[in-house]
Amino acid sequence: MNKFAKGFYIATLIVILLIGTIILLAIPISKKFKAALGSDKDNTSVSVSTDVAGISTDTSDTDLTAEQMLEKLRQEQGDPNNGEGTSSKSIDDVTDKDEKQPIPNPQAGNPGPTEVTWEYPEGLDISGHPILSDYEVFFIGDSIFTTNDGSGTSVSEYFSYYNGAKVYNLAREGMPAGLAANDFLPLPEAIDAFMGEYETKQYGAGIFDREIYNYVHDDHTGKKHIAIINCCINDYSFDGEVTGDINDPNNYMGGLKYAVDNLKNKYPDIFILLMTPYDYTAYNRGTELNPKGNQQGTYINAMLDFANAYNIPWVDMRSKTSFAESAETLLQPDGLHPTAEGCRIIAEVLSKEIGQRVGRLPE
């Protein structure tokens, strides 16, 4: 082998060795570089922070879809919609906290938030109404008190605006006075929930449950109390027993007595007002006979008999209003539930009626 060939051979070996060395050194460097890139990627990924039931959870699982993240949260914390999980949730955890906005109460000196969920009608006259800013008023009854026709209004909201009272809407859709009338939450059980100061989670996170939660956690220092009870229509429409043993809450009059007795036991000085239904157009203005052969008037008369026998004040909405004659503006299409204007009229009558009864009307 000549010197030239030998030199070429040695040079080639040296080049091969150098290339091999470079490759061997590059492998761990590449791994480290990739790891560093992965770390930077993790650090710069979007972190989703979700606060459910007071528990803050940060996840950077960028490979998960939104649905998978939601399912992961459900598994970790329990989903109030599917009943799974073991975490304990209070009513305000599963209810939109922004749903209930403070109501502007001019007479209570509370201007309210800069934005509210609904606007009061222009020219609403609050003159002639009592100043009840030192009162808590409980609205107890059926969907007449819970009605919201899409405008965000209800009887209790208007009532509070008129006189500045702190209101709790403890009404529930379908509520009868007697236990046996239907499968909805009846008045005696609603009173039990209210008096026992516990959350009725078995009935869902609705207005009633939220208002009980609010009541339990509010400051009641220096407050007087008023309860307005409206339970009559559902006992009629669901064929409830009118009378029976007055101490049996399964019948209409017994349910009323159960509520009054418990309210007075808890608040000896409470002012209780019973409210009859207004003259609606449904059920042929309440003249249709239910399966027991009773008209709406049968239950109204039973209410008045109870009120007079137990010295409970009452207000007859039939004589104070003209809903049937103004059904297009005061009643919703079902001929039963009030519109926003209907709610306002009910609240106006109740506010002035209570002002006269408790002697709080302005001079």
Residue 37 or 296, more confident: 296
Per residue in 113-148, pLDDT (tens digit) is 333 344 555 667 788 888 899 999 999 999 999 876
pTM: 0.67
* Range picked from 24-28, 75-79, 149-153, 340-344 for highest mean pLDDT: 340-344
Beta-carbon count within 10 A of 18 CB: 10
In the chain, the domains with their CATH numbers are 132-358 (3.40.50.1110)
Per DSSP, the three-state class of 312 is: coil
Per residue in 246-289, pLDDT (tens digit) is 999 999 999 999 999 999 999 999 999 999 999 999 999 999 99
Query: Rounded distance, CA 338 to CA 331, Å?
Result: 4
Vertex 223 angle, CA 261 and 356, to 5°: 75
Predicted confidence (pLDDT) at residue 76 exceeds the cutoff of 50? no
pLDDT of residue 318: 94
Q: Which element (helix H / strand E) includes 226? A: strand 224-230
Q: What does pLDDT average to over the chain?
A: 74
pLDDT of residue 208: 80
